[in-house]
Protein backbone atom coordinates (compact mmCIF):
# COMPACT_ATOMS: atom_id res chain seq x y z
CA UNK A 1 0.00 0.00 0.00
CA UNK A 2 2.71 2.50 1.05
CA UNK A 3 6.36 2.11 0.21
CA UNK A 4 8.97 4.48 1.56
CA UNK A 5 12.36 4.04 0.01
CA UNK A 6 15.55 5.67 1.23
CA UNK A 7 13.88 8.89 2.29
CA UNK A 8 16.21 11.77 3.19
CA UNK A 9 15.28 15.29 4.29
CA UNK A 10 18.02 17.77 5.00
CA UNK A 11 17.67 21.18 6.60
CA UNK A 12 21.02 22.71 5.82
CA UNK A 13 23.52 20.25 7.25
CA UNK A 14 20.97 18.73 9.63
CA UNK A 15 19.41 15.46 8.40
CA UNK A 16 15.90 15.46 9.87
CA UNK A 17 15.22 12.17 8.02
CA UNK A 18 18.18 9.97 7.23
CA UNK A 19 17.65 7.14 4.73
CA UNK A 20 14.36 5.83 6.06
CA UNK A 21 12.74 2.84 4.31
CA UNK A 22 9.66 0.86 5.34
CA UNK A 23 6.39 -0.40 3.91
CA UNK A 24 2.87 -0.28 5.26
CA UNK A 25 0.39 -2.99 4.31
CA UNK A 26 -3.21 -2.34 3.44
CA UNK A 27 -5.40 -2.22 6.54
CA UNK A 28 -2.44 -2.02 8.91
CA UNK A 29 -2.14 0.41 11.85
CA UNK A 30 1.50 1.40 11.98
CA UNK A 31 3.04 3.58 14.66
CA UNK A 32 5.96 5.94 14.22
CA UNK A 33 7.54 6.18 17.62
CA UNK A 34 10.29 8.59 18.56
CA UNK A 35 11.26 11.37 20.95
CA UNK A 36 10.84 15.06 20.12
CA UNK A 37 12.83 15.99 17.06
CA UNK A 38 13.24 12.37 15.88
CA UNK A 39 11.84 13.16 12.43
CA UNK A 40 8.26 11.85 12.73
CA UNK A 41 6.46 14.99 11.58
CA UNK A 42 8.95 15.51 8.76
CA UNK A 43 8.37 11.93 7.53
CA UNK A 44 4.60 12.38 7.71
CA UNK A 45 4.73 15.73 5.94
CA UNK A 46 6.67 14.08 3.11
CA UNK A 47 4.22 11.15 2.95
CA UNK A 48 1.33 13.53 2.60
CA UNK A 49 3.09 15.63 -0.04
CA UNK A 50 3.22 18.73 2.20
CA UNK A 51 6.99 18.68 2.12
CA UNK A 52 9.37 17.53 -0.58
CA UNK A 53 12.12 15.09 0.27
CA UNK A 54 15.77 15.83 -0.43
CA UNK A 55 15.99 12.35 -1.94
CA UNK A 56 14.14 9.02 -1.86
CA UNK A 57 10.73 7.85 -2.98
CA UNK A 58 7.23 7.47 -1.59
CA UNK A 59 4.84 5.19 -3.46
CA UNK A 60 1.13 4.94 -2.64
CA UNK A 61 -0.42 1.92 -4.33
CA UNK A 62 2.60 1.84 -6.63
CA UNK A 63 2.21 5.52 -7.61
CA UNK A 64 5.02 7.96 -6.89
CA UNK A 65 3.61 10.92 -4.92
CA UNK A 66 5.72 13.38 -6.88
CA UNK A 67 4.65 12.11 -10.31
CA UNK A 68 1.00 11.61 -9.35
CA UNK A 69 0.20 14.29 -6.74
CA UNK A 70 -3.56 14.49 -7.39
CA UNK A 71 -4.28 10.75 -7.40
CA UNK A 72 -2.07 10.00 -4.41
CA UNK A 73 -3.34 12.93 -2.30
CA UNK A 74 -6.89 11.68 -2.80
CA UNK A 75 -5.87 8.43 -1.16
CA UNK A 76 -4.55 10.19 1.95
CA UNK A 77 -6.30 11.91 4.84
CA UNK A 78 -3.99 13.88 7.12
CA UNK A 79 -4.35 15.04 10.69
CA UNK A 80 -1.35 17.33 11.33
CA UNK A 81 -0.08 17.94 14.87
CA UNK A 82 -2.06 21.21 14.83
CA UNK A 83 -5.42 20.41 13.19
CA UNK A 84 -6.22 23.06 10.57
CA UNK A 85 -9.57 24.11 12.04
CA UNK A 86 -11.55 27.25 11.26
CA UNK A 87 -12.77 27.95 14.73
CA UNK A 88 -15.41 30.53 13.74
CA UNK A 89 -17.32 27.85 11.79
CA UNK A 90 -19.63 25.23 13.22
CA UNK A 91 -18.48 21.62 12.89
CA UNK A 92 -20.99 21.00 10.10
CA UNK A 93 -19.99 24.17 8.19
CA UNK A 94 -16.34 23.28 8.50
CA UNK A 95 -16.77 19.70 7.25
CA UNK A 96 -18.83 20.97 4.33
CA UNK A 97 -16.02 23.41 3.58
CA UNK A 98 -13.45 20.58 3.66
CA UNK A 99 -15.75 18.49 1.43
CA UNK A 100 -15.68 21.28 -1.19
CA UNK A 101 -11.95 21.81 -0.75
CA UNK A 102 -11.20 18.14 -1.34
CA UNK A 103 -13.63 18.10 -4.27
CA UNK A 104 -15.14 15.02 -2.71
CA UNK A 105 -18.10 15.14 -5.11
CA UNK A 106 -19.53 11.87 -6.39
CA UNK A 107 -20.47 10.84 -2.86
CA UNK A 108 -23.73 11.81 -1.19
CA UNK A 109 -22.45 14.79 0.84
CA UNK A 110 -25.04 14.70 3.62
CA UNK A 111 -24.78 10.95 4.13
CA UNK A 112 -20.97 10.96 3.93
CA UNK A 113 -20.56 13.73 6.52
CA UNK A 114 -23.17 12.16 8.79
CA UNK A 115 -21.28 8.85 8.68
CA UNK A 116 -17.98 10.54 9.51
CA UNK A 117 -19.48 12.54 12.38
CA UNK A 118 -21.02 9.36 13.70
CA UNK A 119 -17.72 7.44 13.43
CA UNK A 120 -15.77 10.02 15.46
CA UNK A 121 -18.73 10.76 17.73
CA UNK A 122 -19.25 14.45 17.03
CA UNK A 123 -22.85 14.35 15.81
CA UNK A 124 -24.04 15.94 19.06
CA UNK A 125 -21.80 18.99 18.52
CA UNK A 126 -22.40 19.33 14.75
CA UNK A 127 -23.98 22.77 15.05
CA UNK A 128 -21.65 24.21 17.66
CA UNK A 129 -18.85 26.65 16.93
CA UNK A 130 -15.50 24.86 16.81
CA UNK A 131 -14.01 27.64 18.98
CA UNK A 132 -16.27 26.55 21.85
CA UNK A 133 -15.35 22.86 21.74
CA UNK A 134 -13.03 21.12 24.19
CA UNK A 135 -9.57 20.05 23.00
CA UNK A 136 -10.75 16.42 22.73
CA UNK A 137 -13.70 17.36 20.52
CA UNK A 138 -11.49 19.63 18.39
CA UNK A 139 -9.17 16.67 17.85
CA UNK A 140 -12.12 14.56 16.72
CA UNK A 141 -13.14 17.30 14.27
CA UNK A 142 -9.53 17.19 13.02
CA UNK A 143 -9.89 13.43 12.53
CA UNK A 144 -13.22 13.97 10.76
CA UNK A 145 -11.68 16.39 8.25
CA UNK A 146 -8.99 13.79 7.50
CA UNK A 147 -11.72 11.26 6.71
CA UNK A 148 -13.64 13.48 4.29
CA UNK A 149 -13.50 11.97 0.79
CA UNK A 150 -13.04 8.50 2.32
CA UNK A 151 -9.27 8.22 1.77
CA UNK A 152 -7.77 4.73 2.07
CA UNK A 153 -4.86 5.99 4.16
CA UNK A 154 -5.06 8.08 7.34
CA UNK A 155 -1.93 9.79 8.60
CA UNK A 156 -2.27 11.07 12.15
CA UNK A 157 0.47 13.15 13.74
CA UNK A 158 0.42 12.83 17.55
CA UNK A 159 -3.37 12.37 17.60
CA UNK A 160 -3.70 12.34 21.39
CA UNK A 161 -1.27 15.07 22.34
CA UNK A 162 -2.70 17.51 24.90
CA UNK A 163 -5.78 15.39 25.66
CA UNK A 164 -6.87 14.28 29.10
CA UNK A 165 -6.78 10.54 29.98
CA UNK A 166 -10.48 9.99 29.20
CA UNK A 167 -10.20 11.75 25.84
CA UNK A 168 -7.06 9.73 25.05
CA UNK A 169 -8.93 6.46 25.62
CA UNK A 170 -11.79 7.64 23.40
CA UNK A 171 -9.55 8.81 20.54
CA UNK A 172 -7.56 5.55 20.68
CA UNK A 173 -10.82 3.66 20.46
CA UNK A 174 -11.86 5.71 17.41
CA UNK A 175 -8.47 5.07 15.75
CA UNK A 176 -8.74 1.32 16.37
CA UNK A 177 -12.14 1.33 14.68
CA UNK A 178 -10.82 3.43 11.79
CA UNK A 179 -8.10 0.82 11.32
CA UNK A 180 -10.76 -1.70 10.27
CA UNK A 181 -11.44 0.21 7.06
CA UNK A 182 -8.30 2.29 6.57
CA UNK A 183 -4.56 1.95 6.53
CA UNK A 184 -3.40 4.13 9.43
CA UNK A 185 0.01 5.61 10.20
CA UNK A 186 0.17 7.48 13.47
CA UNK A 187 3.06 9.12 15.24
CA UNK A 188 3.61 9.30 18.94
CA UNK A 189 6.33 9.77 21.49
CA UNK A 190 4.39 7.65 23.97
CA UNK A 191 5.23 3.96 24.00
CA UNK A 192 1.94 2.90 25.57
CA UNK A 193 0.09 4.70 22.84
CA UNK A 194 1.57 2.70 19.99
CA UNK A 195 1.39 -0.45 22.08
CA UNK A 196 -2.32 0.15 22.60
CA UNK A 197 -3.33 0.68 18.98
CA UNK A 198 -0.60 -0.33 16.52
CA UNK A 199 0.12 -3.69 14.96
CA UNK A 200 3.64 -2.65 14.01
CA UNK A 201 5.99 0.00 15.30
CA UNK A 202 8.77 1.88 13.55
CA UNK A 203 11.11 3.40 16.12
CA UNK A 204 12.81 6.53 14.79
CA UNK A 205 15.75 8.10 16.53
CA UNK A 206 17.68 11.10 15.17
CA UNK A 207 16.14 10.67 11.73
CA UNK A 208 17.08 6.98 11.46
CA UNK A 209 15.09 3.80 11.95
CA UNK A 210 16.25 2.10 15.12
CA UNK A 211 13.82 -0.85 15.00
CA UNK A 212 10.72 -2.12 13.21
CA UNK A 213 8.58 -4.82 14.79
CA UNK A 214 5.29 -5.62 16.47
CA UNK A 215 4.92 -4.11 19.96
CA UNK A 216 4.89 -7.64 21.43
CA UNK A 217 8.11 -8.65 19.74
CA UNK A 218 9.78 -5.41 20.77
CA UNK A 219 8.74 -5.92 24.35
CA UNK A 220 9.97 -9.54 24.27
CA UNK A 221 13.29 -8.64 22.71
CA UNK A 222 13.78 -5.76 25.07
CA UNK A 223 12.42 -7.35 28.20
CA UNK A 224 13.60 -5.80 31.39
CA UNK A 225 13.15 -8.50 33.96
CA UNK A 226 16.55 -7.89 35.53
CA UNK A 227 15.87 -4.35 36.60
CA UNK A 228 13.64 -3.59 39.54
CA UNK A 229 13.00 -1.10 42.29
CA UNK A 230 12.45 -1.77 45.93
CA UNK A 231 11.39 0.20 48.97
CA UNK A 232 13.09 -0.66 52.24
CA UNK A 233 12.53 0.63 55.76
CA UNK A 234 15.91 1.31 57.32
CA UNK A 235 19.34 2.79 56.98
CA UNK A 236 20.44 3.63 53.42
CA UNK A 237 24.09 2.70 53.80
CA UNK A 238 23.32 -0.75 55.27
CA UNK A 239 20.83 -1.54 52.49
CA UNK A 240 23.31 -0.49 49.80
CA UNK A 241 26.05 -2.61 51.35
CA UNK A 242 23.86 -5.70 51.66
CA UNK A 243 22.36 -5.52 48.17
CA UNK A 244 25.66 -4.46 46.63
CA UNK A 245 27.30 -7.61 48.01
CA UNK A 246 24.73 -10.01 46.54
CA UNK A 247 26.09 -12.32 43.88
CA UNK A 248 24.62 -11.34 40.51
CA UNK A 249 23.80 -7.71 41.35
CA UNK A 250 25.26 -5.43 38.69
CA UNK A 251 24.52 -2.24 40.53
CA UNK A 252 22.31 -0.71 43.18
CA UNK A 253 21.42 2.96 43.49
CA UNK A 254 19.52 4.89 46.08
CA UNK A 255 16.56 6.78 44.63
CA UNK A 256 16.10 8.66 47.89
CA UNK A 257 13.41 8.91 50.50
CA UNK A 258 9.91 8.55 49.04
CA UNK A 259 8.13 7.88 52.33
CA UNK A 260 8.93 9.13 55.83
CA UNK A 261 10.62 5.99 57.09
CA UNK A 262 11.70 4.21 53.92
CA UNK A 263 14.08 4.62 51.00
CA UNK A 264 13.74 3.49 47.37
CA UNK A 265 16.50 1.67 45.53
CA UNK A 266 17.07 0.70 41.92
CA UNK A 267 18.75 -2.65 41.27
CA UNK A 268 20.00 -4.23 38.10
CA UNK A 269 21.04 -7.87 38.06
CA UNK A 270 23.11 -9.88 35.61
CA UNK A 271 21.03 -11.59 32.91
CA UNK A 272 19.52 -14.96 33.90
CA UNK A 273 20.18 -14.48 37.62
CA UNK A 274 17.27 -14.06 40.01
CA UNK A 275 18.78 -12.07 42.85
CA UNK A 276 15.48 -11.33 44.57
CA UNK A 277 15.48 -14.23 47.11
CA UNK A 278 19.04 -13.41 48.13
CA UNK A 279 18.21 -9.74 48.57
CA UNK A 280 15.10 -10.66 50.54
CA UNK A 281 16.99 -13.00 52.86
CA UNK A 282 19.89 -10.60 53.32
CA UNK A 283 17.72 -7.65 54.25
CA UNK A 284 15.47 -9.79 56.47
CA UNK A 285 18.51 -11.08 58.36
CA UNK A 286 19.62 -7.50 59.00
CA UNK A 287 16.11 -6.58 60.13
CA UNK A 288 15.59 -4.23 57.17
CA UNK A 289 12.05 -4.99 55.92
CA UNK A 290 11.25 -4.75 52.22
CA UNK A 291 8.00 -2.80 51.82
CA UNK A 292 7.71 -3.30 48.06
CA UNK A 293 9.63 -4.77 45.13
CA UNK A 294 8.64 -4.33 41.50
CA UNK A 295 9.97 -4.62 37.97
CA UNK A 296 10.91 -1.33 36.34
CA UNK A 297 8.94 -0.77 33.14
CA UNK A 298 11.03 0.06 30.14
CA UNK A 299 10.75 3.73 29.36
CA UNK A 300 10.97 4.94 25.81
CA UNK A 301 14.46 6.17 26.59
CA UNK A 302 15.43 2.70 27.83
CA UNK A 303 14.18 1.17 24.60
CA UNK A 304 16.13 3.67 22.55
CA UNK A 305 19.22 2.94 24.58
CA UNK A 306 18.64 -0.78 24.13
CA UNK A 307 18.11 -0.46 20.41
CA UNK A 308 20.94 1.95 19.78
CA UNK A 309 23.23 0.06 22.18
CA UNK A 310 22.72 -3.02 20.00
CA UNK A 311 23.53 -0.96 16.92
CA UNK A 312 26.70 0.26 18.55
CA UNK A 313 27.42 -3.18 20.03
CA UNK A 314 27.72 -2.04 23.65
CA UNK A 315 26.12 -3.36 26.82
CA UNK A 316 22.51 -2.44 27.33
CA UNK A 317 21.50 -0.02 30.09
CA UNK A 318 25.17 0.64 30.76
CA UNK A 319 24.94 4.30 29.88
CA UNK A 320 21.50 5.32 31.07
CA UNK A 321 21.67 8.97 31.97
CA UNK A 322 20.36 9.13 35.48
CA UNK A 323 22.37 12.18 36.41
CA UNK A 324 19.47 13.44 38.48
CA UNK A 325 19.79 10.40 40.73
CA UNK A 326 22.45 10.39 43.37
CA UNK A 327 24.55 7.31 42.78
CA UNK A 328 25.37 6.03 46.21
CA UNK A 329 26.70 2.61 45.37
CA UNK A 330 28.38 1.99 42.07
CA UNK A 331 28.68 -1.26 40.17
CA UNK A 332 30.50 -4.01 41.89
CA UNK A 333 32.40 -6.84 40.35
CA UNK A 334 30.46 -10.08 40.71
CA UNK A 335 32.28 -13.15 41.77
CA UNK A 336 31.28 -15.75 39.16
CA UNK A 337 32.72 -18.71 41.09
CA UNK A 338 30.83 -17.78 44.23
CA UNK A 339 27.59 -19.70 44.27
CA UNK A 340 24.27 -18.34 45.35
CA UNK A 341 23.49 -18.96 48.98
CA UNK A 342 23.16 -16.70 51.95
CA UNK A 343 26.87 -16.84 52.69
CA UNK A 344 27.38 -14.63 49.65
CA UNK A 345 25.46 -11.77 51.12
N1 LIG B 1 11.52 23.82 8.90
C2 LIG B 1 12.58 23.34 9.54
N3 LIG B 1 13.78 23.94 9.43
C4 LIG B 1 14.88 23.45 10.07
N5 LIG B 1 14.87 22.34 10.83
C6 LIG B 1 13.71 21.70 10.97
C7 LIG B 1 12.49 22.16 10.35
N8 LIG B 1 11.49 21.31 10.67
C9 LIG B 1 12.04 20.36 11.46
N10 LIG B 1 13.35 20.60 11.64
C11 LIG B 1 14.29 19.78 12.43
O12 LIG B 1 14.20 18.45 11.95
C13 LIG B 1 14.29 17.52 13.03
C14 LIG B 1 13.07 16.61 13.01
O15 LIG B 1 11.90 17.37 13.35
P16 LIG B 1 10.44 16.75 13.38
O17 LIG B 1 9.49 17.88 13.66
O18 LIG B 1 10.21 15.95 12.17
O19 LIG B 1 10.54 15.79 14.63
P20 LIG B 1 9.36 15.03 15.39
O21 LIG B 1 9.84 13.65 15.61
O22 LIG B 1 8.07 15.22 14.69
O23 LIG B 1 9.34 15.80 16.77
P24 LIG B 1 8.09 16.33 17.64
O25 LIG B 1 7.56 15.16 18.38
O26 LIG B 1 8.74 17.34 18.54
O27 LIG B 1 7.10 16.96 16.68
C28 LIG B 1 14.43 18.34 14.29
O29 LIG B 1 15.80 18.43 14.60
C30 LIG B 1 13.88 19.71 13.90
O31 LIG B 1 14.50 20.72 14.65
Whole-complex ipTM: 0.95
Ligand 1 pocket, residue 86 CB under 6 Å: no
Ligand 1 pocket, residue 40 CB under 6 Å: yes
**How far is residue 23's CA from residue 5's CA, in Å, rounded to a whole number?**
8
Supply the pLDDT for residue 162: 78
Atom of ligand 1 nearest to the CA of 158: 25
**How far is residue 91's CA from residue 243's CA, in Å, rounded to a whole number?**
60
Supply the pLDDT for residue 309: 56
CB neighbourhood size of 185 (10 A): 28
Burial pattern 189-222, b for ≥16 Cβ within 10 A else e, equals bebebbbbbbbbbbbbbebbbbbbeebeebbeeb
- 277 Cβ contact list (under 8 Å, min separation 6): none
CA distances from 264 to 28, 52, 142, 255, 274 (A): 42, 50, 44, 5, 19
**How far is residue 227's CA from residue 213's CA, in Å, rounded to a whole number?**
23
Atom of ligand 1 nearest to the CA of 207: 14
Supply the pLDDT for residue 189: 79
Report which of 229, 236, 230 is spatially closest to residue 286, judged by C-alpha positions: 236
Ligand 1 pocket, residue 36 CB under 6 Å: yes
Cβ–Cβ under 8 Å, residues 77 and 149: yes
Atom of ligand 1 nearest to the CA of 9: 12
Measuring from atom 14 of ligand 1, which residue has the nearest CA?
A: 39
Ligand 1 pocket, residue 145 CB under 6 Å: no
Q: How far is the CA of 236 from the centre of ligand 1 (A)?
A: 44
Ligand 1 pocket, residue 42 CB under 6 Å: yes
**How far is residue 266's CA from residue 281's CA, in Å, rounded to a whole number?**
18
Atom of ligand 1 nearest to the CA of 32: 21
Q: What is the residue-level pLDDT of the chain in tens, covering all 345 positions?
A: 899 999 999 999 899 999 999 999 998 999 998 878 889 999 999 999 889 999 999 999 999 998 998 889 889 999 998 888 999 999 999 999 999 988 877 778 999 999 999 988 899 999 999 999 998 899 999 999 999 998 999 999 998 887 888 888 888 888 998 888 899 999 987 777 888 899 999 988 889 998 898 877 776 666 566 888 999 999 999 999 999 999 999 999 999 888 888 999 999 898 888 899 999 999 999 999 999 998 776 655 566 566 655 544 433 333 333 333 333 333 344 344 444 443 333
**How far is residue 282's CA from residue 224's CA, in Å, rounded to a whole number?**
23
pTM (2 d.p.): 0.70
Cβ–Cβ under 8 Å, residues 246 and 282: yes
Supply the pLDDT for residue 305: 63
Domains detected in the chain: 2-221 (3.40.50.300), 227-344 (3.30.70.260)
- 200 Cβ contact list (under 8 Å, min separation 6): 28, 29, 30, 31, 212, 213, 214
Cβ–Cβ under 8 Å, residues 263 and 257: yes
Mutate to test the pocket of ligand 1, among 8, 11, 54 (most ligand atoms within 8 A of CB): 11
Measuring from atom 30 of ligand 1, which residue has the nearest CA?
A: 37
Supply the pLDDT for residue 302: 63
Mutate to test the pocket of ligand 1, among 8, 12, 33, 41 (most ligand atoms within 8 A of CB): 41
Amino acid sequence: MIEIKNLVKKYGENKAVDHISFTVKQGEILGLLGPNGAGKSTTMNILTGYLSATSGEVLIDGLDILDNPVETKKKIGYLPEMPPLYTDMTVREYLNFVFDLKKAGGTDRKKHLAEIMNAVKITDVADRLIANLSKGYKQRVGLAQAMVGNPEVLILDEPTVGLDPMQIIEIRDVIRKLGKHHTVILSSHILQEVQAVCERVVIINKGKIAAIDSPDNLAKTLSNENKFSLRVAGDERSVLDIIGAVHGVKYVKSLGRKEKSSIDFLVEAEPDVDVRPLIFNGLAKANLPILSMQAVDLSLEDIFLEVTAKDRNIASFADIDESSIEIVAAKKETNKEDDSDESNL
